[in-house]
Amino acid sequence: MSFSTPLEIVAQAERAALGKIALSTPRTLVAAMLAGIYIAMGGLLSLLIGYGFPEWTAHNPGLQRLLSGCMFPLGLILVVLAGAELFTGNNAVLIPGLMHRKYGWAPVLKNWILVYIGNFIGAIFFVYVMIWGAGIVDADPWKSAIVQIAQAKVSMPWWVVFVKGIGANWLVCLAVWLGFSAHSTAGKMMGLWFPVMCFVAIGYEHSIANMFFIPLGMLQGAAVGWADFLVDNLIPATLGNIVGGALFVGGLYTYLYYRK
């Protein structure tokens, strides 16, 4: 068979989780920083291409969403194929082993916290040094676009961000599941690409991506403070991401395909 069955995917996720938990703290942080950088790379490409053709997209908002969505999956493809630790993916991947009692909540929470911190450091580094420091989006249409994006993300009601966070990581973790299912590089890339493109085009909220979008908007002049960023977006998006990944992907698929 050229792809893994759902039962085999759950087993693969469990094996991958055991390797993640066995990583030392310094290695986990470095791998997490790389993932934060990779997601920021995908976010930058999504911004540059998605908002780089205003004359085409002004009266075709679906086209702008499609262009942005088609570019953003670069980040997850790099995370999975090059190897890095992404908080949102780990929300699902660590659940099968937990449900099978291969380890408890303590190593899961330790991994999630370390990886989340590393993702944040990596994303902020890329924003400050590789984008803002290099003046990549100092000109319009990208400057105006990132300012509007950042302000819009902190202007939604808390529960809306939470629900959109569920949707984002439901799709991201399904992408990780499809990546596990494929046996070829091209197959993995396609499996990762479609669900991530979908969540971006829909407009769901991904906490690690927002570690790129909102701080970059703040640097470009968005009327957003750090408290706005953390309280109005990052916290509800993160909680929603955990539900979307841990419950709707890791939890449900482990329940459906668990075999003693």
Tell me the pLDDT of the chain averaged across its residues.
96
> Which pLDDT does position 258 carry in this prediction?
77
Statement: residue 260 has pLDDT above 60: no
Can you give the residue range of the structural domain that contains 99?
6-257
Q: Band of the pLDDT at 259, cuts 50, 70, 90? A: low
Q: Rounded to two decimals, what is the model's pTM?
A: 0.96
Q: Is residue 163 in a domain?
A: yes
CATH code, domain with 114: 1.20.1080.10
Cα Rg of the chain, angstroms = 18
Which string of b and e fits 208-225 if b means at least 16 CB within 10 Å? bbbbbbbbbbbbbebebe
pLDDT at 144 > cutoff 60: yes
Q: pLDDT tens digits, residue range 150-185?
A: 999 999 999 999 999 999 999 999 999 999 999 999
How many domains does one find in the chain?
Answer: 1
Q: Angle CA(125)–CA(128)–CA(132) in degrees, nearest 5?
A: 145
pLDDT of residue 93: 98
Q: Residue 250 above 70 pLDDT?
A: yes
pLDDT of res. 36: 98
Binned at pLDDT 50, 70 and 90, residue 233 comes out as very high
Q: Quick check: is 77 in a domain?
A: yes
Average pLDDT of 95-100?
Answer: 96
